[in-house]
Chains A and B, each alone.
Chain A
Amino acid sequence: EAQVTQNPRYLITVTGKKLTVTCSQNMNHEYMSWYRQDPGLGLRQIYYSMNVEVTDKGDVPEGYKVSRKEKRNFPLILESPSPNQTSLYFCASSLFGGLMNNEQFFGPGTRLTVL
């Protein structure tokens, strides 16, 4: 089954404790992206990757890191989480970066709470 998977689905942590949220897709997609979803704000893009070893900042990159060492994986790293990073996080992928005939598929989400 073609899908985007994220782990963990739920995570409660404390301020300053480094964490990684994994994202993997099995569709051989070039483009991958991370979003955070907050009430009243919709989705905001954190980082995106056009292909292996090619990453760039989205709208809200502060406090986050990403890497793209393999095509299928795009982990999101919080080196020193803070309470304002409490949010619902989504990973997404698409065949390539453009919009034409190119649907973006989302993972199921990771709900992160930073105490």
Chain B
Amino acid sequence: QQQVKQSPQSLIVQKGGIPIINCAYENTAFDYFPWYQQFPGKGPALLIAIRPDVSEKKEGRFTISFNKSAKQFSLHIMDSQPGDSATYFCAASKWNSNYQLIWGAGTKLIIKP
């Protein structure tokens, strides 16, 4: 009930391509779904987050798609750049919790020039 399953584990995409990272959750009480970006040697940083009242949210080149009935959400990166190469984590939580995030396992993304 508490797991967040993230796939793929790693992903290599050519510059300009659209990498897609998927996450699935089990607990229907979750209502906050953030994505974090982590560069080597750094801590994670919040990238974008969505709540279930919308099915899609865009911030710059980053888009979250959310499918409540399937209990899935995904991150799309438009016009990907080598500087987007990082590890991406999805997470889930109850909105009224105290940062009690349940994290996915992470996806190592490499954008080839």
Which of A's residues lie within 8 Å of B, judged by CB? Answer: 4, 31, 33, 40-45, 48, 50, 58, 90, 92, 94, 97-100, 103-109
Query: Given A33-B99, A50-B98, A104-B99, A42 and B106 touching (CB < 8 A)?
Result: yes
Q: Tally of A-B residue pairs with Cβ under 8 A?
A: 59
Residue in A44, A99, A109 whose CB lies within 8 Å of B43: A109
Contact: B46 with A42, CB < 8 Å?
no
Query: Given A31-B99, A48-B99, A50-B98, A107 and B43 touching (CB < 8 A)?
Result: yes
Residue in B9, B45, B97 whose CB lies within 8 Å of A99: B97
Number of interface residues of B (CB under 8 A): 24
> Interface residues of B: mostly helix, strand, loop or mixed?
loop
Which residue on A lies nearest to B34, using beta carbons?
Answer: A99
Query: Given A40-B105, A42-B89, A43-B103, A104 and B95 touching (CB < 8 A)?
Result: no
Query: Given A99-B32, A99-B93, A45 and B100 touching (CB < 8 A)?
Result: yes
Residues in A neighbouring B45, C-beta threshold 8 A: 105-106
